[in-house]
Structure 1
């Protein structure tokens, strides 16, 4: 057991970078049939777009492959597991829950699997939430529904109280399904487990509708969210085409990262302006959105604008905004702001405008997972159980370069993943929209 931090770029070690903690030596034969994964990490080559600030460009890092091991740390028949879901909804949460339960019970014969209700609150006695017993029968069809069968909540809870609850419940392994804040909570829980010298495995399954978990190219539920967003964009395009000088304005989720806006834009090729938090834009003046929109309507008579919810915050003042229960800064409504400013501009210019504003955010995150995400979630859930049974801890299961791997929790909690506005992906988005690069301001591509 150890409690450590991932090294920075200045003291980069390609082996230490991906080293996974363990609660103890694995000596118990597994009941799961082979083939088995070995314990020797494999190299992965990194470039600037997939390593960001975590490793030097052109480095190789060594990561453990995910999958069953020949030897386990825990005696499967005596193991009690717990699952908790935290933060906002996301397509596929129920699929991950189901996969964990099925693998733990059918694959390993675990003694029981507990479902912690309403996020980390479910561990706190004062919140008085009951614990659910999860069985293969009780989760058999939950993947048909969106949301989470366990419920969720936002906001921090005391790691000491959580570990107290794990001890009271005699839990051997905890699976935390959540986003950036939830992975930080999982890391804090592991820190308290380590401090007390307990043998409890803590495994994270990263979940974020914004696709902003560090070092993970694509989170589960992202494809499903993009599918739903694309349906909304088609409707906005139809509305815009239906009138002269028609504009469809759509606000999509994306507090600090514009991946949903960018990917849904690329998926259809009907968006003319995409606005993301990573690329500040001007409203007025040369290359500003209002002037460029006016030119677009003069040429084609219609336009579609997509704005991530975190875009344009620099245009709406620097006053105190407060934070939500998770500690995230509260955002001003960029959709309502743009709608008002666009209407004002065209009225001032004496030009006709027929603008339809659509905000589908909660629809996008509450749908059931699509087929690709269901397959993805199944692998994540099963690999999480394999990792925990082998005694691994303080880690997440992730898909990296088409391989399922183990990543240290300190790596994925270091920062939020953001669009690289100087990379090839963002260039492709701009090529799809045809919007003027001058709109991007100081982050413009060179």
Structure 2
């Protein structure tokens, strides 16, 4: 969304004045407009002057003076300078994204023109450069609203404004100085190879960056100086494969050591692909880099197979996971409907949220019970889960259950022991699917019902496949926009879609804990599910809650 200046706002009023007031009235109105415009220009020029003192800002007092000195040198021709100045204005409501120009306290920015800028009517696209008109580049003061829908009691001023992502006309980095590093952190999910390929292709062809490396097996590749040189020939067809071309791993995090290795190897652009833990470690890396005054940008492309990333619309790979989950759901359905008194249980990813279980169930349309971590439930008792399954078997003969792995922590009247922690420190929860299978078998046998339970755990099948068409397109957009921002010097942010538009979100906002992405009782998708399954709350004392 692009704000309009005062002159653009007044022009239509001037036309109306010309019609309504005649020549004299219009001339007076035009004089007023000219005076306001001149005043605006005078204030702008004064703030850009090298001798002008920077106005005090209670919001951002430490950056104002340095950035005004920066503007005095080349503000007239450098669009990036104009954007940075705008972000520092007291009246700017866009959430500030850090830039190396701020962090390094640069006095003069180089006038690096984006290689993709077309300079004539004929624009060759075969070389990957010189094919975008000026209108395709992001103007300063462009933002995306966090909440595009407003009700009677909502105020526009209360919603966040995220900086619009996209190509900038002028860059902080010169392509020949860039040495990029790509690191995949955490577990697998569909789309990783698409992002690795797109980062390499966009850097190489669109920005003419020749030095691109990938760290093998996550942070371990940085610790062990185990890098692989990437170029278009190497990554050309990897997007057709599942898994991760570079390898990934959960490992310890040592920020100081990572920055040491990055500086030693001359890596000045780091593209991290990871989840919540990765964003927290990336913020620490950003702070260390800033304290050392290093010219290294840190960008995160968020990932989560359970779609728990806050603020953004959804994580890449999520739609593919929903699609891949349909096959085990079909198997469970066919198994339960081939013999009377049969239960099918399918366990899906979702240690903290149940979005995958919820959306896979909605897509399948024949799920009878869906259990997610957000809502506690009782296993035993008159209104508990076991009694409901038993009653359904008596009346319908079948029952298909989808359960998110994190539902083990939502049991109210019993407990499943954890299995320790992984290398990243995450809790490895007990198997809720196996627990439910045994509990249902024991309960129905006590009731004299000879039931069968088929338990299917397709978790690793769901995450290991290649991205579908929708996720492939999403991955390409994220990779390209991460590069656009990094080449302009922006750092310490995550790139993602908000209201279906790509934007930059500061890591301190992503890690603040103010935007937890969880299913709530009022969630429309959850209400649709309840309407379809007819399942109760499975709470024995629901009336007391």
TM, length-normalised to structure 1: 0.90
Match of 2:386 in 1: 290
Distance in 2 between residues matched to 1:14 and 1:100, nearest whole Å: 35
Distance in 2 between residues matched to 1:47 and 1:319, nearest whole Å: 43
**Of the candidates 59, 62, 73, which is equivalent to residue 158 of structure 2?**
59
Distance in 1 between residues matched to 2:157 and 2:440, nearest whole Å: 44
**Aligned CA distance change for structure 1 residues 170 and 164 (closer, same or farther; 3 Å):** same
**Of the candidates 269, 283, 292, which is equivalent to residue 187 of structure 1?**
283
User: In the TM superposition, what is the alpha-carbon distance from 1:373 to its structure 2 partner?
Assistant: 0.4
Q: Work out whether residues 39 and 64 of structure 1, in 8 Å CA contact, stay in contact via their aligned partners in 2.
A: no
Q: Work out whether residues 418 and 429 of structure 2, in 8 Å CA contact, stay in contact via their aligned partners in 1.
A: no
**Of the candidates 195, 204, 210, which is equivalent to residue 105 of structure 1?**
204
**Of the candidates 23, 26, 44, which is equivalent to residue 145 of structure 2?**
44
| Greater Cα offset, 39-48 or 206-215 | 39-48
| Greater Cα offset, 160-169 or 425-434 | 425-434
**Of the candidates 98, 103, 115, which is equivalent to residue 21 of structure 1?**
98
Corresponding residue SS for 1:104: helix
**Residue correspondence of structure 1 range 156-175 to structure 2 within 5 A:** 156-175=252-271
Distance in 1 between residues matched to 2:204 and 2:276, nearest whole Å: 28
**Of the candidates 358, 366, 371, which is equivalent to residue 456 of structure 2?**
358
Q: Work out whether residues 46 and 59 of structure 1, in 8 Å CA contact, stay in contact via their aligned partners in 2.
A: no
Number of residue pairs the alignment of both structures matches: 427
User: In the TM superposition, what is the alpha-carbon distance from 1:129 to its structure 2 partner?
Assistant: 5.2
Q: Work out whether residues 381 and 540 of structure 2, in 8 Å CA contact, stay in contact via their aligned partners in 1.
A: no
Deviation by residue 1:409-431 (Cα, 9 ceiling, x = unmatched): 11222345221233222111211
Unaligned runs of 5+ in 1: 4-12, 50-54
**Aligned CA distance change for structure 1 residues 427 and 39 (closer, same or farther; 3 Å):** same
Distance in 2 between residues matched to 1:26 and 1:61, nearest whole Å: 31
Q: Work out whether residues 83 and 176 of structure 1, in 8 Å CA contact, stay in contact via their aligned partners in 2.
A: yes
Give the number of the structure whose alpha-carbon radius of gyration is greater: 2
Match of 2:71 in 1: none
**Aligned CA distance change for structure 1 residues 30 and 48 (closer, same or farther; 3 Å):** closer
| Greater Cα offset, 310-319 or 354-363 | 310-319
Deviation by residue 1:249-280 (Cα, 9 ceiling, x = unmatched): 01111001111100000001110000010011
Distance in 2 between residues matched to 1:442 and 1:157, nearest whole Å: 44
User: In the TM superposition, what is the alpha-carbon distance from 1:287 to its structure 2 partner?
Assistant: 2.4
**Of the candidates 262, 278, 297, which is equivalent to residue 358 of structure 2?**
262
User: In the TM superposition, what is the alpha-carbon distance from 1:432 to its structure 2 partner?
Assistant: 2.1
Q: Work out whether residues 349 and 404 of structure 2, in 8 Å CA contact, stay in contact via their aligned partners in 1.
A: yes
User: In the TM superposition, what is the alpha-carbon distance from 1:47 to its structure 2 partner?
Assistant: 8.3
| Greater Cα offset, 380-389 or 291-300 | 291-300
Residues 1:221 and 2:320 aligned together: no
TM, length-normalised to structure 2: 0.74
**Aligned CA distance change for structure 1 residues 333 and 435 (closer, same or farther; 3 Å):** same
Distance in 2 between residues matched to 1:423 and 1:18, nearest whole Å: 27
**Of the candidates 495, 504, 520, which is equivalent to residue 420 of structure 1?**
520
**Aligned CA distance change for structure 1 residues 134 and 409 (closer, same or farther; 3 Å):** same
Deviation by residue 1:82-141 (Cα, 9 ceiling, x = unmatched): 0000100010001001111000000000131100111011111xxx35210000110000
Unaligned runs of 5+ in 2: 1-59, 64-89, 102-108, 118-131
Corresponding residue SS for 1:310: helix
User: In the TM superposition, what is the alpha-carbon distance from 1:319 to its structure 2 partner?
Assistant: 6.2
Q: Work out whether residues 78 and 111 of structure 1, in 8 Å CA contact, stay in contact via their aligned partners in 2.
A: no
Corresponding residue SS for 2:141: coil
Q: Output the aligned Cα RMSD.
A: 2.6
Q: Work out whether residues 271 and 305 of structure 1, in 8 Å CA contact, stay in contact via their aligned partners in 2.
A: yes
Residues 1:31 and 2:126 aligned together: no
Relative CO higher for 1 or 2, CA cutoff 8 Å, sep ≥ 6? 1
Residues 1:92 and 2:176 aligned together: no
**Residue correspondence of structure 1 range 46-445 to structure 2 within 5 A:** 46=147, 59-124=158-223, 128=224, 130-315=226-411, 316-317=414-415, 322-415=420-513, 416-436=516-536, 438-439=537-538
Q: Work out whether residues 23 and 201 of structure 1, in 8 Å CA contact, stay in contact via their aligned partners in 2.
A: yes
Corresponding residue SS for 2:173: coil
User: In the TM superposition, what is the alpha-carbon distance from 1:26 to its structure 2 partner?
Assistant: 6.7
Corresponding residue SS for 1:102: helix
Match of 2:33 in 1: none
